Amino acid sequence: MSSKKSRVVLVTGASRGIGRAIAQGFAADGHRVACAARSVDAVTALAEEIGGLAVPLDVADGPAIDHALATIEAELGPVEILVNNAGIATSAPLHRTTDEDWDRTIAVNLTACFRLCRGVVPKMVEAGYGRLLFVASNAGLTGYAYTAAYCASKHGVIGLTRALAAELARTGVTANAICPGFVDTEMTQASIQRIRETTGRDEAAARKALEKMNPQRRLIEVDEILHLARAFVSEGARGVNGQAVAVDGGQVMH
């Protein structure tokens, strides 16, 4: 247990990748972590591993969000640190992007963040402390071809971050976004598979194509995202508000 104050943390998309790493890291720091994800078995196993609370949740389901927040408050207390990490990636030319693709991407990547923030912010303001952390993407800072829905959703997340930072600046609540490039996770592996299917490249070549987008010629590791997440929620970062920080080796500079 860390000597720092233990906070109630909610991490969405916690069953794998970045969310899993953040949940594990924050639990190791002594926080009380609620792990939310659609995969019941995976999130239950993670909660058991870290001594946290398993919260099966599809973030695209509004009533389910309300129920999840009520459960967390009853079991652990009001959420003090919200890590909006759950997300999906879609890739298709504009003319093949369906209404369903668009609606689901916006619902999971953006609307869920809004609903979760709306649910936790009042108690944060009342307590005079809160950290809203969004795992966005450098796709929210620039544009990429064949990702209209994804880019739009992540630009929206950064806009939401900045709007909340301005609105809540005098309350003790901060809002910041982490904007990774390609991270070595299951989601990136799915991107590699799509490259293979559309270009005929083998896996090594497809992976190399993504690595080359990073000036450091590598994929980002999950521990790098955890490092920044820890920094954002620290007491020393109380003046850091409304920022969108790229973690991509210098691919996007703004």
146: left (phi over 0), alpha (psi -120 to 50) or beta: left
- Distance from chain centroid for Cα 219: 17
Q: How many distinct structural domains can be found in the chain?
A: 2
Q: What's the confidence (pLDDT) of residue 201?
A: 78
8 Å CB contact between 104 and 86? no
CA–CA gap between residue 195 and residue 12 (Å, rounded): 27
Range of the domain at 203: 184-219
Inside any domain, residue 233: yes
- Residue 146 and residue 35 share a domain: yes
Same domain, yes or no: 119 and 214: no
List, in order, residues 6 or more apart from 189 with CB less than 8 Å away: none
The CATH number of the domain holding residue 53 is 3.40.50.720
Q: What is the pLDDT of residue 208?
A: 85
Same domain, 32 and 136: yes
Are β-strands 8-12 and 53-56 bridged in parallel, bridged antiparallel, or unpaired?
unpaired
Residues 84 and 129 placed together within one structural domain of the fold: yes
pLDDT (0 to 100) of residue 85: 98
Instruction: Tell whether 36 and 148 lie within a shared domain.
Output: yes
Q: Is the domain of 39 the same as that of 147?
A: yes
In a domain, 252, yes or no: no
pLDDT at 1: 40
Does 226 fall in a domain? yes
Q: Quote the pLDDT of residue 200.
A: 77
| 191-206: pLDDT as tens digits | 777 777 777 778 888 8
* Cβ atoms 2, 26 nearer than 8 A: no
100 residue type, one letter = E
Does any domain span residue 188? yes
* 215 and 239 part of one domain: no
**Residue 215 shares a structural domain with residue 166:** no
The two beta strands, 173-180 and 130-135, are: parallel
Q: Specify whether 56 is located in the same domain as 149.
A: yes
Q: Do residue 205 and residue 174 come from a single domain? A: no
Give, for 68, the enclosing helix (H) or strand (E). helix 62-75
pLDDT attached to residue 205: 81
- The answer as to whether 171 is a domain residue is yes
User: What residues are annotated to the active site?
Assistant: 150
Percent of all residues in the chain with a pLDDT value above 70, rounded to a whole number: 98
**20 in a structural domain:** yes
pLDDT by 10s per residue, the chain, length 254: 444 799 999 999 999 999 999 999 999 999 999 999 999 999 999 999 999 999 999 999 999 999 999 999 999 999 999 999 999 998 899 999 999 999 999 999 999 999 999 999 999 999 999 999 999 999 999 999 999 999 999 999 999 999 999 999 999 999 999 999 989 877 777 777 777 777 777 888 888 888 888 989 999 999 999 999 999 999 999 999 999 999 999 999 97
Is there a domain that residue 81 lies in? yes
How many angstroms separate the Cα of 246 from the Cα of each of 11, 39, 171, 226? Answer: 20, 28, 26, 13
* Chain center to CA of 160: 13
Asked if residue 124 and residue 18 are part of one domain, the reply reads yes
Residue whose pair of structure tokens reads 């799915």 in the numeric block? 190
Quick one: pLDDT at residue 149?
98
Alpha helices in 107-169 (DSSP H): 112-127, 148-167
Do 50 and 21 belong to one domain?
yes
- Look at residue 1 and tell me if it is in a domain: no
